[in-house]
Amino acid sequence: MISHAKIPVLLVPAAATFIGINKIAFATDLSHDDIGVIRSLSTFAAQFNAEILVAHVSEGQGDDDKQRAKIADFINYITTRIDYPHVHFRDIKQMNVDEGLDWLSEHGQIDMLVMVHHRSSLIDVLFNRSRTQKVARHIDIPLLVYPGYLNHVF
């Protein structure tokens, strides 16, 4: 379903209980293309007066100037284009992205995780699952998945 959806898909684990939506985490790779998702997400979050935590997982131990500059550029880019007061950013340092997303869903005190599903090449499809599909298999909170190729509007 994730790979073929043309609209955002909300996946809710069977054991999940609804306690409200106060904090939504959006996992980003710092792509400026994510602005459409964040804008759409801010419209959704406003209905609940929820906080949006824009989260990026930095792989490895490095904390170089190039990475810090890229993060600063992304933060500036979204803050000048999103008119929602409850948007925050967090850089999560982990050895790999999958571990960082697991940490975020388990310890980030979030009510929902949002990801963009990027279509994979045929080789990736045959040998690997997408990151979004991996997360969907074991997450304990609702996962909202946006298709990666559409204009994102609720």
How does pLDDT run across 70-98, given as a tens digit for each residue?
Answer: 999 999 999 999 999 999 999 998 878 88
> CB-based burial of residue 34 (10 Å sphere; 0-12 exposed, 13-18 middle, 19+ buried)?
buried
For position 109, what pLDDT does the model report?
93
> CB-based burial of residue 94 (10 Å sphere; 0-12 exposed, 13-18 middle, 19+ buried)?
middle
The structure tokens 């930095």 sit at: 58
120-133: average pLDDT? 49
Q: Are 130 and 3 in contact (CB under 8 A)?
A: yes
CA distance 92 to 101: 9
Instruction: Calculate the alpha carbon distances from 132 to 3, 65, 118 in Å.
Output: 9, 29, 8
36-44: average pLDDT? 95
**Lowest-pLDDT choice from 25-29, 86-90, 132-136:** 132-136
Q: Which domains does the chain have, with CATH numbers?
A: 9-147 (3.40.50.620)
